[in-house]
């Protein structure tokens, strides 16, 4: 599911991030753990094909991203990945249903209404489908973002800090929701987190510890 | 559909941009319609008339009174002038004309029957006049006066509706013209002798009819068609040399009229261009703001697999929606304004304008706003292509 070999990434004017080699071939869930600034979000952006692989090898869901052209990465990401960012990025101009439809509209595909209905019901947000995000609770917003990520039946789900700013109860519910949704959709999970509650709840998952990455000169 | 929803996510900005571009297109459409219809009407009304010969005064007034029937004539000229002109080697045709009275605001024009042929006019009902005191009504005149063949009608002195009625000398309506879209539509046509009969003997119908067979004393003007192009240089000079006569060239006077009108039209045209420029700038600012406000949405669409070109197209489409809505509203408003002006002018028995006509130049009212919208969208679309998606996706709440 995730494989890193000699992977490093540099930003202008900042220390280069060098990631440890890692292999999680058949894992259902992989945790990227480490404190803020350790490179979790950078690795997630690399894994999502949003950044060029500058050095080394990175395989995600069976695809080698090093050397892949930006347009090919866009197409691959749309077909293979579902992404739930830390900031949910739901459009305030669109209804919940239209936000989900973006998963299709963004690549010019016809909207699969049956699939959207199925997700709205499965995630318990069918009754707010016609509302705009600003009228929803934090928990509902997370469900909408998750539904959007799952819309095109991705092979892998990339989730960035899913429990930040949540109390314990909400955090537990979110973790359960993610696991349940991934299981139902037969999707593997790649979660970036430094939240002890997530790490405790997902004991036994493959872990990529990035503590040392930010310290590499 | 997404571009449409994003457009109306900010209804105030969308409405203002729409109003600006709509007004610009409306003013432009109005000017194009009015100027093209006036030019066409004037060209049609000229009907090959090369020269108007009348009493001394303003040549513009003489041309407006004799050709377009929009102004008072400059005075009268001796009836013998007609004979002099007809015997002139450079004159192909000379049409005598006697003006001065009206019916319900429609001018009574005394002329010879050929005058109808100059405009290719056709009888809708009845026949042409054969004797004095018989009239044929133009299409608009017949409609507005609600007169049919067989009716009798009394003229009033002067060109307004308030003049003194010549009650003792009624006209008999013998014919009604089909609509020609020319000056004849708003005229009441009769023999030259009728006009003079009414004025020489206004007290009794019988006497007026008797005297109508007499030689007319004076004419108001004579319309001339040249036999040779050389006449354009020679004949006006010959006319000017005759005592009490003046020559006005409709072509020259019309060109002068357009130059005078042109200043006003240019001011309005400048105003329309300014409105379109302001609306382009406004659309540009709105799109720049929209891209900034929607960076998060656009980044998410990139994350969902949208290539940069698709997002640029989304911005361009939003601008196109504004342009298309603006131009549709502007075209409708421009045509409506022209129709309103046409109806106001019709009440004053003046030029015929219609809002239900189209001119080829209106294509510019479609092409220009679309081109300007795409121009306004170019920079915001370019910014979208350079979005730093990874940074935006990591941005805190």
ipTM of the assembly? 0.85
Instruction: Note whether B33 and B57 are same-domain residues.
Output: no
Instruction: Note whether B15 and B145 are same-domain residues.
Output: no
For B109-159, write each residue's pLDDT tens digit: 999 999 999 999 999 999 999 999 999 999 999 998 999 899 999 888 877
Q: Which residue in B183, B200, B209, B222 sits closest to B101, CA to CA?
A: B200
Instruction: Note whether B165 and B31 are same-domain residues.
Output: no
* Last residue within a domain, chosen from B207, B238, B255: B255
* Last residue within a domain, chosen from B226, B255, B284: B255
Q: Quick one: CA dihedral A56, A58, A64, A70, positive or negative? A: negative
For A111-145, write each residue's pLDDT tens digit: 999 999 999 998 889 999 999 999 999 889 988 99
Whole-number Å distance between alpha carbons of B102 and B108 = 5
Instruction: Note whether B197 and B281 are same-domain residues.
Output: no
Contact yes or no for A98 and B303 at CB 8 A: no
Contact yes or no for B5 and A107 at CB 8 A: no
What is the band of B192 on the pLDDT scale with cuts at 50, 70, 90? very high
Instruction: Note whether B13 and B52 are same-domain residues.
Output: no
**Two tokens at B284?**
């540009």
Residues of A within an 8 Å Cβ radius of B: 41-42, 45, 48, 50-51, 71, 74-75, 77-79, 83, 85-87, 89-94, 98, 102-103, 105-108, 148, 160, 165
Residues of A in contact with B312 (CB under 8 A): none
B286 Cα to chain A: minimum distance (Å): 16
A187 Cα to chain B: minimum distance (Å): 17
Instruction: Note whether B7 and B141 are same-domain residues.
Output: no
Residues of B in contact with A134 (CB under 8 A): none
Q: What's chain B's Rg over C-alpha atoms?
A: 30
**Phi–psi pair at B119, nearest 5 degrees:** -105, 5
- Give the residues of chain A that fall short of pLDDT 70: 214-217
More reliable by pLDDT, B315 or B95: B95
- Going by the DSSP 8-state scheme, the letter that residue B160 receives in this structure is S
CB B283 within 8 A of CB B373: yes
Query: Is residue B380 pLDDT above 50, yes or no?
Result: yes
CA torsion B186-B189-B193-B197 (nearest 10°) is -60
* Other beta carbons within 10 Å of A127: 11
Whole-number Å distance between alpha carbons of B218 and B305 = 89
Instruction: Note whether B267 and B251 are same-domain residues.
Output: no
Q: Which DSSP string corresponds to B19-34?
A: HHHHHHHHHHHHHHHH
Whole-number Å distance between alpha carbons of B334 and A43 = 59
Instruction: Note whether B213 and B157 are same-domain residues.
Output: yes
Q: Which DSSP string corresponds to B300-345?
A: HHHHTT--HHHHHHHHHHHHHHHHHHHHHHHHHHHHHHHHHHHHHH
**Phi–psi pair at A58, nearest 5 degrees:** -140, 115
Domain that includes residue A67, residue range: 2-215
| β B51-55/B187-190 pair status | unpaired
Instruction: Note whether B170 and B279 are same-domain residues.
Output: no
**Two tokens at B130?**
């054969």
Distance of CA B100 to the CA centre of its chain: 25
Lowest mean pLDDT among A59-63, A164-168, B12-16, B390-394: B390-394
For B23-69, write each residue's pLDDT tens digit: 888 988 998 898 888 888 877 888 789 999 999 999 999 999 999 89
B392 Cα to chain A: minimum distance (Å): 9
Per the structure, how many domains does chain A have? 1
Domain that includes residue B240, residue range: 48-255
What is the band of B160 on the pLDDT scale with cuts at 50, 70, 90? low
CB A6 within 8 A of CB A56: yes
Q: Which residue in A88, A86, A85, A111 sits closest to A100, CA to CA?
A: A111
Instruction: Note whether B68 and B194 are same-domain residues.
Output: yes
| Neighbouring C-alpha atoms within 13 Å toward the C-beta of A30 | 26
Whole-number Å distance between alpha carbons of A146 and A130 = 17
Per the structure, how many domains does chain B have? 2
**Two tokens at A101?**
């439809």
Instruction: Note whether B97 and B198 are same-domain residues.
Output: yes
For B303-329, write each residue's pLDDT tens digit: 898 988 888 888 889 888 988 998 999
* pLDDT, mean over chain B: 86
pLDDT of residue B213: 52
Please, which residues have CB within 8 angstroms of residue B43's CB and are 6 or more apart in sequence? Answer: none
Whole-number Å distance between alpha carbons of B117 and B393 = 80
For residue B361, with 0-12 CB atoms within 10 Å meaning exposed, 13-18 middle and 19 or more buried, which class applies? middle
**Phi–psi pair at A54, nearest 5 degrees:** -80, -35
Instruction: Note whether B278 and B185 are same-domain residues.
Output: no
Whole-number Å distance between alpha carbons of B337 and B291 = 36
Query: Is residue B161 pLDDT above 70, yes or no?
Result: no
Whole-number Å distance between alpha carbons of B184 and B111 = 12
Whole-number Å distance between alpha carbons of B109 and B97 = 7
pLDDT of residue B328: 94
Whole-number Å distance between alpha carbons of A142 and A126 = 14
Q: Given B296, B306, B389, which is nearest A106 (Cβ)?
A: B306
- Going by the DSSP 8-state scheme, the letter that residue B185 receives in this structure is G
pLDDT of residue A217: 45
Whole-number Å distance between alpha carbons of B140 and A122 = 73
* Last residue within a domain, chosen from B255, B286, B301: B255
Whole-number Å distance between alpha carbons of B204 and B166 = 9
Residue A102, domain CATH:
3.40.50.300
């Amino acid at each position: 599911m995730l494989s890193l070999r000699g992977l490093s990434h540099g930003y202008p004017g900042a220390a280069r991030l060098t990631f440890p080699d890692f292999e999680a071939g058949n894992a259902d869930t992989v945790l990227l753990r480490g404190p803020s600034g350790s490179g979790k979000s950078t690795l997630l952006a690399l894994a999502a094909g949003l950044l060029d692989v500058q050095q080394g090898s990175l395989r995600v869901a069976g695809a080698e991203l090093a050397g892949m052209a930006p347009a090919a990465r866009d197409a691959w990401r749309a077909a293979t990945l579902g992404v739930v960012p830390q900031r949910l990025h739901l459009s305030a101009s669109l209804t919940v249903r239209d936000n989900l439809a973006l998963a299709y509209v963004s690549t010019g595909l016809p909207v699969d209404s049956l699939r959207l209905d199925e997700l709205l019901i499965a995630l318990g947000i069918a009754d707010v489908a016609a509302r705009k995000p600003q009228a929803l609770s934090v928990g509902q917003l997370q469900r909408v973002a998750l539904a959007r990520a799952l819309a095109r039946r991705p092979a892998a789900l990339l989730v960035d800090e899913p429990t930040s700013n949540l109390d314990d109860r909400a955090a537990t519910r979110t973790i359960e929701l993610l696991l349940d949704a991934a299981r139902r959709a037969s999707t593997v999970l790649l979660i970036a987190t430094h939240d002890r509650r997530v790490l405790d709840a997902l004991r036994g998952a493959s872990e990529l510890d990035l503590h040392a990455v930010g310290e590499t000169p | 559909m997404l571009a449409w929803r994003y457009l109306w996510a900010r209804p105030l900005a969308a409405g203002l941009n729409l109003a600006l571009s709509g007004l610009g297109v409306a003013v432009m459409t109005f000017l194009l319609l009015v100027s093209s219809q006036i030019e066409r009407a004037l060209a049609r009304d000229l009907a090959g008339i090369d020269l108007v010969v009348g009493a001394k005064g303003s040549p513009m007034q003489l041309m407006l009174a004799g050709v377009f029937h929009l102004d008072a004539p400059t005075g009268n000229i001796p009836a013998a002038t007609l004979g002099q002109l007809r015997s002139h080697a450079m004159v192909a045709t000379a049409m005598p004309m006697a003006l001065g009275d009206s019916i319900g605001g429609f001018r009574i024009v005394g002329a010879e029957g050929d005058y109808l042929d100059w405009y290719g006019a056709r009888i809708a009902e009845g026949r042409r006049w054969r004797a004095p005191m018989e009239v044929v009504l133009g299409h608009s005149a017949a409609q507005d006066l609600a007169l049919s063949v067989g009716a009798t009608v009394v003229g009033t002195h002067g060109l307004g509706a308030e003049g003194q009625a010549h009650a003792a000398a009624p006209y008999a309506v013998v014919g009604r013209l089909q609509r020609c879209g020319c000056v004849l539509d708003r005229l009441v046509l009769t023999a030259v002798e009728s006009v003079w009969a009414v004025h020489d003997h206004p007290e009794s119908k019988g006497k007026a009819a008797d005297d109508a067979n007499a030689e007319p004393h004076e004419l108001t003007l004579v319309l001339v068609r040249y036999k040779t192009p050389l006449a354009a240089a020679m004949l006006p000079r010959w006319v000017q040399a005759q005592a009490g006569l003046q020559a006005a060239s409709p072509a020259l006077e019309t060109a002068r009229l357009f130059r005078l009108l042109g200043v006003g039209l240019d001011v309005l045209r400048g105003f329309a261009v300014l409105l379109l420029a302001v609306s382009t700038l406004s659309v540009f600012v709105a799109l720049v703001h929209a891209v900034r406000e929607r960076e998060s949405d656009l980044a998410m669409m990139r994350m969902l697999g949208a290539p940069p070109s698709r997002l640029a197209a989304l911005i361009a489409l939003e601008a196109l929606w504004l342009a298309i809505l603006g131009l549709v509203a502007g075209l409708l408003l421009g045509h409506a304004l022209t129709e309103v002006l046409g109806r106001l002018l019709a009440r004053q028995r003046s030029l015929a304008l219609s809002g239900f006509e189209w001119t080829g130049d209106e294509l510019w009212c479609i092409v220009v706003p679309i081109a300007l919208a795409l121009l306004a969208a170019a920079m915001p679309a370019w910014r979208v292509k350079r979005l730093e998606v990874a940074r935006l996706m990591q941005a805190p709440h």
